[in-house]
Amino acid sequence: MLSVYSLVVLISSVSVCVLRVRADPVLLDQSFGCHSRLKQLHGQQVTVLMPPNITGHWVSNSCEVRPGPEFLTRSYRFNPDHTFAALQFYYEDRDCSVPSYSLLIRGSVRPLQASWLVRGGTVCEYHLSRVQLLCHGPAAATLLRTLLPPDCDPRRPPQPGLAYELWDERWAAGRDCTRGLRFSMQELRLMRMERRHHHGDAERRAEEELFLGDVHTERAQRRLHQPSGYQTPLRSAKRCGICKIVSSADLHHPPVLPVQPERPVRLHGNWVSTRCEVRPGVLFLTRHLTFDEDSRTWAGRYEHFSDPVCRHPTFSISASGNYSRGNTSTAVSGAVEFTFTVTHMAVTPMDVATTSLLNVFRGRDCGVEGSWKLGVQQDVTFTSGCAALGVRLPHTEYELFSAGQDPSGRGLLYNGQRPTDGSSPDRPDRRATSFQPPLIRCGGGQKGERRIGDQLFRLSAGCGSNAPDAIVTLILLLTLM
Ligand SMILES: *[C@@H]1O[C@H](CO)[C@@H](O)[C@H](O)[C@H]1NC(C)=O
Ligand SMILES: *[C@@H]1O[C@H](CO)[C@@H](O)[C@H](O)[C@H]1NC(C)=O
Ligand SMILES: *[C@@H]1O[C@H](CO)[C@@H](O)[C@H](O)[C@H]1NC(C)=O
């Protein structure tokens, strides 16, 4: 729930905490389940292809949510001569079952160089040649008419089922009907292509994924935004269910995804990242969160890395606190609002550079001055976080959670995307309307599933280093969500 945008900010937002959990066999099982998932993640063989050869057809594998919120699916074709045709299908609903309007964007794109800012990313340049709009019903046509600038064909407004020219490079300079839509293809400025090999599954072909640049959480900033993170990756495989529906669609026949049964948002239990995540700014991390619905406490461990496959640790943050459940979201159906307080935080520098950096901040109320040691966790709760750097505990954040399921039926948990400008969602009006990559359930302890879990899963959110023998100190969880 804290955001860490740069090491410096990071330090400021670091609160550390140690979760102490009773050393019960069942609990250990749980933590091992999560531990092995994280290990699996680190052991995953991921090849990053640089420069990426993006020639081919890349499609969404889910209904994507962009800040706003906007619900969409994407189907992008990149040709060997560097031209592309990108279809974006927008919907009225969270399941992408009711198409609203679609865009067909043509242009060219080519990789320039490896990104200096985002390791593992490739910076590209692109050029747009034409943008067309198609409304799928009268409601969308009416709405889009109000969004178009006045110089855009007032006598021939968008009609359902008729392609409408929003932009053409041959038009006179200055005329641009995409303005009102806050349309942008800045996502093409940053790319990353991954090939993922599955262990012990030689039969399965390696999966390829194409990550395009992130979309700014503020609509007004989108057009100039230089991405430093990524959106949900596109897939080249056509075998998965959703990809198949999306890849066979065209401008006039948008993909209609199946309506999903409503999934209740239950936080109780343990959750870990499904991949090495990248945050704008640029940080690579894995998260492990745990929630106890009875005591309304949470804890998280955020492991940060210097590399895009999460092999070289730089520091970790443990945090904990309490939370409360709020209303169901009116912005994103099925999602629920929460309020989180971070009351404890601890930091562990994991490389020499971070250790020195922490020691540089002398006398600034951030742990014990000059005492940071490589690999040694330090509680910063007693200094109320890092005052000099602007991070004060307790810290409150307004969150949005949504539930999902992976193809094998395992629970997924989504929480709010961090604001792109590095700010914290510390007011209700800053609450996210889109999500970070999902966490997957690990261990046992799902409420209702095993009552015994409630008894054993007792977090004590105190921070301190003298853990009695009977207490296992889980350097767990706290994430900055
Ligand atoms: C890029 O990929 C395409 C399709 O997979 C292939 O036909 C083409 O030869 C590749 N280009 C290069 C330069 O490797
Ligand atoms: C956390 O607990 C404190 C103290 O009981 C309370 O004031 C605060 O409102 C709680 N925070 C949330 C998000 O429920
Ligand atoms: C839930 O919604 C009601 C009515 O809009 C509002 O008054 C209340 O503050 C909301 N509760 C929370 C926890 O946001």
Binding site membership of 297 for ligand 2 (Cβ less than 6 Å): no
How far apart are the C-alpha atoms of 173 and 433, rounded to whole Å? Answer: 35
- Interval between CA 337 and ligand 3 midpoint (Å): 10
Q: Is the Cβ atom of 53 under 6 angstroms away from ligand 1? A: yes
H/E segment holding residue 194: strand 190-197
Q: Where along the chain do its domains lie?
A: 4-44+262-479, 48-247
| Six-digit token string for 332 | 């994103």
The pair of structure tokens assigned to 75 is 């189907």
Mean pLDDT in consecutive groups of 10 residues from the start of the chain, 481 residues: 34 31 35 74 76 93 93 97 98 95 97 89 95 93 86 77 91 83 93 79 70 92 92 84 92 95 92 88 84 92 88 88 95 94 88 84 73 90 67 83 87 92 87 94 58 30 27 25 40
- Confidence (pLDDT) at 149: 83
Residue 202 pLDDT: 53
Instruction: Name the closest-CA residue to atom 12, ligand 3.
Output: 326
Whose atoms come closest to the Cα of 58: which ligand? 1
**What pLDDT does residue 28 have?**
35
Q: Give the residue whose CA is nearest to atom 3 of ligand 3.
A: 327
Does the pTM exceed 0.85?
no
Contact yes or no for 431/398 (Cβ under 8 A): yes
pLDDT of residue 198: 65
What residue owns the CA closest to ligand 3's atom 1?
A: 327
Q: Rounded CA gap, 95 and 333, in Å?
A: 9
330 Cβ closer than 6 Å to some ligand 3 atom: no
Number of helices followed by number of strands (H, E) in the chain: 6, 26
Residue nearest to atom 7 of ligand 3 (CA): 327
Cβ-proximal residues to 142 (8 Å cutoff; 6+ apart), any chain: none
- C-beta 326 within 6 A of ligand 3: yes
Q: Does residue 110 line the site of ligand 1, with CB under 6 A? A: no
Comparing CA positions, the residue from 101, 361, 67, 379 lying closest to residue 232 is 67
Alpha carbon separation from 277 to 65, 229, 304 (Å, rounded): 17, 9, 9
DSSP letter for 160, please. Answer: B
Cα–chain center distance at 112: 26
Q: Report which secondary-structure segment, H or E, holds 12.
A: helix 7-13
pLDDT at position 287, please?
A: 92
- Closest-CA residue, ligand 2 atom 2, reads 322
